[in-house]
Amino acid sequence: MLHVRPPAVAGSFYPRQADALSHEVRTLLALARADNPGPPGALPKAVIVPHAGYVYSGSTAALAYQQLAAGRDQIRRVVLLGPVHRVAVRGLALSGVDAFDTPLGRVAIDAAGVAAVAGLPQVVVSAAAHAQEHSLEVQLPFLQTVLDHFTLLPLAVGDATPAQVAQVLDVLWGGPETVIVISSDLSHFLPYADAVALDRDSVRTMLALNPTLNHQQACGGTPVNGLLLAARQHHLQPSLLGLCNSGDTAGDKQRVVGYAALAFTPVPAVIADSDPQSTNAESSPA
């Protein structure tokens, strides 16, 4: 019997009807291409994207996903990590299901990837951690729109260290067929000016590949820090695609949530040995 995780936040974080959802995602991607077409060059190996309701953070997430669209015929596996919001878990949790559904269709779980990491001590199985978790689900309609045929390796990240996350990423790294998506918002519920200052500092930390973000800076600080460690090891160069907060999109400015989109691309071989730190580069708002 096939075990499938049904959509939990369709109708709140994004439209429930397939045609409305497809239209909204495609519109966000078209606006992203117009606003920030991105420099020509290597396809991102990894991206960091926000995970709020689309009215709040969809325009920022689209900046990263429109860059992945260039890999439509190449990317065949998505490794997706996001923080747990509703169910505490120790380590990184596999879902224990065979597929995830959204209004746009079904995405099969990457069985080979599951087998590759299942024996790691920090990897557990928790259907409960995934059942209502929006940080992973809201990424799927974007992925279903910009990619053709791909499998999914979703991990809900709880109490873990950046090194443990980086180890999992290293096992799943693969080649050009694999892309890594890290789901994280930035600061939460600060006044607008305070959030802008803190989020800019957090982005500087990420661009320096410095894996020291705390959970006041980013709710997905643990998976982000793990990616930053892995990016150092694999010589990825970060770039900022967009930064805003809910006060800029659909919320008031008294209590805002921050959003950023970043891409991580392979450093050309000629400079791959340089110091990576020298690189500069219910719908809910959270």
DSSP string, 167-209: HHHHHH--STTEEEEEE----EEE-HHHHHHHHHHHHHHHHTT
- Domain at 18-187+202-252+266-278, CATH from 3.50.30.30, 2.170.150.70, 3.40.830.10, 3.40.50.620: 3.40.830.10
pLDDT score recorded for residue 277: 42
**What is d(CA 8, CA 197) in angstroms, rounded to the nearest whole number?**
33
**What is d(CA 75, CA 10) in angstroms, rounded to the nearest whole number?**
25
pLDDT score recorded for residue 2: 93
**What is d(CA 110, CA 125) in angstroms, rounded to the nearest whole number?**
15
pLDDT score recorded for residue 66: 97
Q: What is the pLDDT of residues 7-40, one digit of tens each?
A: 999 999 999 999 999 999 999 999 999 877 655 5
Would you list the domain boundaries of the chain? Answer: 18-187+202-252+266-278
Note whether 256 and 56 are within 8 A (CB). no
Number of Cβ atoms within 10 Å of the Cβ of 76: 18
What's the one-letter identity of residue 14?
Y
Note whether 134 and 10 are within 8 A (CB). no
pLDDT under 70 in the chain at which residues?
Answer: 37-41, 269-284, 286
Take residue 132 and report the two structure tokens written for it. Answer: 């209502």
pLDDT score recorded for residue 266: 94
Q: Which of 100, 130, 129, 137 is nearest to 21 (CA)?
A: 137
pTM of the model: 0.93
Q: What is the pairing mode between strands 77-83 and 151-157?
A: parallel
